Amino acid sequence: MTETRVHFYQVGSFAVGNRLLSDADRTVQASRERTNSLDAGHRACQGCGEALGARYALDAAMRATGGRLVAVNATGCLEVFSTPFPETSWRIAWLHSLFGNAPAVATGVAAAMRAKGRDDVRVVGQAGDGGTVDIGFGALSGMFERHDDVLFICYDNEGYMNTGVQRSAATPPTARTATSEAVGADPGNVFGQGKDLPRIAMAHDIPYVATATVADLHDLERKVERAMTFRGARYLHVLVPCPLGWGAASADTVRLARLAAESGFFPVFEAEHGVVTGVRRIRRRVGVEEYLRPQRRFAHLFAGEGRPDLVARLQLIADANVERYGLAPEEE
């Protein structure tokens, strides 16, 4: 008589945990023993995707490193809402210096650890998209190029939210921000290439580059864990919806991240040594409109007669991503 193990679980591959899963198959977040690197009492807005993404990523990094972790934080929402004197929400060794220098500060920490023979201590640098793709870009590229032993994580909420929702180089075309108002013939942010930092990171030939969202925790944690198996510069780009900046319901944070990936508008993939090695294929493909509509920053695309021409251009971006990374759902 042959015995076959039943591999299928009712929510096994998608939910945070499940009583039926073995411990190894559960996420770090499913465990009561998780670090809670970012603890309760922080002052992030309701439904903050960045607070979620930071805890996800750092708790996973804490598990991967056995708690031997130091985090360096750029200025931004995450820093401001986590450490207003006299309270901090961090439960890990954490340093904030400036807005544009987190990659370099992280390099310094890593260098100090190496000089002191503390190879067991690993370093994570983290910033929002402004601190990563804009003001911190030079420092980040330098860190990549030198191959410093740092995992840098960008929590991308597609704008300068801490300062009141201004445009960054990661803001998608047509999105309304306080510096790209939804007025005139070309409302919202301009159409352009944006600054596709994951691909720029890949161009540095660093050992590991990945994107993820707060909607797929298993994928995100696996990528952090994978990143920690490499030494040298690594980059993780996590999409973290911002209810305030995106004009979305606080309950929709995870849903929007999911729609971003499922529409192809935000490609989820990983690359090693400059070569794409894996993509998270779309499971239930949706048009970009389904992703855009719940967000007030895109409301001008749908008000009145709407701007189907602009929506179509945004759809082309998603289609190009699907094509470039091979994101199309598997054939039935």
Partner 1 sequence: MDRPFAITLPVGSSRANHTGSWRVERPVYVDHLPPCNDACPAGENIQRWLYHAESGDYEAAWRILVEENPLPAIMGRVCFHPCESACNRVRVDEAVGINAVERFLGDTALARGWRLPDPGPDSGRRVLVVGAGPAGLSATYHLRRAGHAVTLVEGAARLGGMMRYGIPAYRLPRAVLDAEVERILEMGVEVVLGRSVKDIAAARDEFRADAVFLAVGAQLGRRVSIPAGDSAKMIDAVTFLHQVAEDDPPLLGRHVVVYGGGDTALDAARTARRLGATDATIVYRRNRAKMPAHAEEVEQALGEGVTVRWLSTIERFEGERLLIEKMALNAEGFPEPTGELEELDADALVLALGQDTDLSLLEGSEVHVADGVVPVAESMMTDVPGVFAGGDVAPSDRTATVAVGHGKRAAKGIDAFLGDRSFERPERHPLAAFERLNTWYYADAPRTQRPELERIRRQTNFEEVVGGLTEDNALFEARRCLSCGNCFECDNCFGVCPDNAVIKLGGGDRYEIDYDYCKGCGICVAECPCGAIEMVPERI
Partner 2 sequence: MLQQLEGSRAVAETVARCRPEVVCAYPISPQTHIIEAIGAMVKDGRLAPCEFINVESEYAAMSVSIGASAAGARAYTATASQGLLFMIEAVYNAAGLGLPVVMTLANRAIGAPINIWNDHSDAMAVRDAGWIQLFAETNQEAADLHVQAFRLAETLSVPVMVCMDGFILTHAVEAVDLIDQAVVDSFLPPYEPRQVLDPDDPVSIGAMVGPEAFEEVRYLAHLRQLDALELIPSVAEEFAALTGRASGGLLHPYRLDDAETVIVAMGSVLGTIKDAVDARRATGERVGVLGVTTFRPFPVAAVADALAGARRVIVVEKAFSLGMGGVLATDVATASPASGPELATVVAGLGGRPITRRDVEGVLGRSAQGTLPRLSFLNLDEDVVARERARMAASRRSGPFAENVLRDLAAGGANR
Q: Does 255 bind partner 1 (CB under 8 A)?
A: yes
Query: Among residues 28, 44, 51, 113, which is the contact residue for partner 2, using CB under 8 A?
Result: 113
Q: Does 239 bind partner 1 (CB under 8 A)?
A: no
Binding to partner 1 in span 36-75, by CB under 8 A? 36, 38-44, 46-49, 51-52, 55
Token pair for 187:
């409302």
Query: Among residues 177, 211, 253, 315, which is the contact residue for partner 1, using CB under 8 A?
Result: 253
Query: Among residues 25, 68, 80, 91, which is the contact residue for partner 1, using CB under 8 A?
Result: 91
Q: Does 107 bind partner 2 (CB under 8 A)?
A: yes
Query: Among residues 98, 249, 286, 328, which is the contact residue for partner 1, using CB under 8 A?
Result: 249
Q: Does 4 bind partner 1 (CB under 8 A)?
A: yes
Angle between helices 217-227 and 49-65 (to 10 degrees): 40
Q: From the CB of 123, what's the least distance to partner 2, in Å?
A: 8
Q: From the CB of 88, what's the least distance to partner 1, in Å?
A: 4
If the CB atoms of residues 71 and 292 are measured against partner 1, the closer one turns out to be 71
Paired sense of beta strands 234-239 and 150-156, if any: parallel
Q: From the CB of 87, what's the least distance to partner 2, in Å?
A: 8
Within 8 A by CB and 6+ apart from 149, the residues are 110, 114, 122, 123, 231, 232, 233
Give me the phi and psi of 60, to 5 degrees please: -65, -40
Asked whether 188 and 166 are in contact (CB, 8 A), the reply is: no
Token pair for 313:
């251009």
Token pair for 146:
């030198």
Q: Does 145 bind partner 2 (CB under 8 A)?
A: yes
Distance of CA 85 to the CA centre of its chain: 27
Q: Pick from 282, 276, 242, 241: which is nearest to 261 by CA?
A: 282
Task: For residues 126 and 109, give the distance between their C-alpha atoms in angstroms, rounded to a whole number.
Answer: 13
CB atoms within 10 A of CB 84: 12
Asked whether 257 and 240 are in contact (CB, 8 A), the reply is: yes
Q: From the CB of 227, what's the least distance to partner 2, in Å?
A: 18
Q: Does 1 bind partner 1 (CB under 8 A)?
A: no
Task: For residues 157 and 154, give the distance between their C-alpha atoms in angstroms, rounded to a whole number.
Answer: 9
Query: Among residues 90, 155, 208, 246, which is the contact residue for partner 2, using CB under 8 A?
Result: 90
Residues that bind partner 1 in the complex, under the rule CB under 8 A:
4, 6, 8-20, 26-27, 29-30, 32, 36, 38-44, 46-49, 51-52, 55, 82-83, 85-92, 217, 243, 249-255, 258, 284
